[in-house]
Amino acid sequence: MSELTIGFLGAGKMATALALGFLRAGRVQADHLFASDVIPVAADTFAAATHSHILPTNRAVAEAAQVLVLAVKPDQILPALTELKTALDPQRHLLISIAAGVMLAQLEKTAPGQRFVRVMPNTPALVGASASAFALGAAATEQDGATALRLFESVGIAFAVKEKLLDAVTGLSGSGPAYAFLMIEALADGGVAVGLPREIAQKLAAQTLLGAAKMVLETSQHPGALKDAVCSPGGTTIDAVHE
């Protein structure tokens, strides 16, 4: 996969995070990475971070790359595809959409016969800790699925699911970081309320969630069992959990 050519249509924060993950994992070389964006500062930031090629149009990206990551905003993806479809070749291109809420059927209706994969990543891709799920379109092959898996595992974990489950994925892992941030903030606020400096409280809270998550992933124990192990009879933890 080191000779794969990848193009990003849209060069925002998520595109940059994914591109950096692909580069660090050796999934693509910088010289084989391309992007376009109508916002100059986004394009410049992408280029500075990845040392890759910024091209003037989406069509130019399609001409340069085999794998096209559709990273424009959801309301822009179908117009972008409509403009681009005469430059697409299903024998050459794999199209990966990361646009939330845009169904495979909509993509396939706009660009018939193309090989699509729909992916729901999340923002921890920015630090290489994304939780992603993806579904294959009607024309996508088993090899396309393997390509998507290898790419998105380079920025975290990734699973193949049926498309009907992607809405559930959106609510769980797509929105999940916001739930975790709220919990970190609440824990830190509690620490500040009893005298801890904000910086220390926030780091303790964040590390606590990180450590708890690693225990779930690495021990394979049920979260309830891990919770019970912390809750000594009559202790402060079970008192707090009970409240």
Query: How far apart are alpha carbons 64 and 55 in whole angstroms?
Result: 9
pLDDT at site 126 = 87
Give the CATH superfamily of 176-242. ProC C-terminal domain-like (1.10.3730.10)
The arithmetic mean of pLDDT across residues 114-121, rounded, is 97
Q: Please, which residues have CB within 8 angstroms of residue 126's CB and are 6 or more apart in sequence?
A: 13, 14, 17
pLDDT of residue 80: 95
**141 CB-near residues (< 8 Å, 6+ apart):** 115
pLDDT 10s digits, 136-167: 999 999 999 999 999 999 999 999 999 999 99
Give the Cβ contact number of residue 31 at 10 Å: 10
Let me know: does 226 contact 219? Beta carbons within 8 Å: yes
Question: By the 8 A CB rule, do 134 and 117 touch?
Answer: yes
Residue 1 has pLDDT above 70, yes or no: no
State the Cα–Cα distance between residues 92 and 110, nearest whole angstrom: 18
Segment 180-209 shows an average pLDDT of 98
Where do the structural domains in the chain lie, given as residue ranges? 6-165, 176-242
Q: Which uninterrupted H or E stretch holds 82?
A: helix 74-84
Strand intervals (E) in the chain: 6-9, 33-36, 53-54, 67-70, 94-97, 115-120, 130-136, 156-160
Kindly report the CATH class assigned to 6-165: alpha beta
* Whole-number pLDDT of residue 109: 97
Which tens digits make up the pLDDT trace of 74-99?
Answer: 999 999 999 998 999 999 999 999 99
Q: 30-88, pLDDT tens digit by residue?
A: 999 999 999 999 999 999 999 999 999 999 999 999 999 999 999 999 999 999 989 99
Contact in structure between 35 and 43 (CB atoms under 8 Å): yes
Residues 6 or more apart whose Cβ sits within 8 Å of residue 103: 118, 163
* Span 209-237, pLDDT tens digits: 999 999 999 999 999 999 999 999 988 88
pTM beyond cutoff 0.85: yes
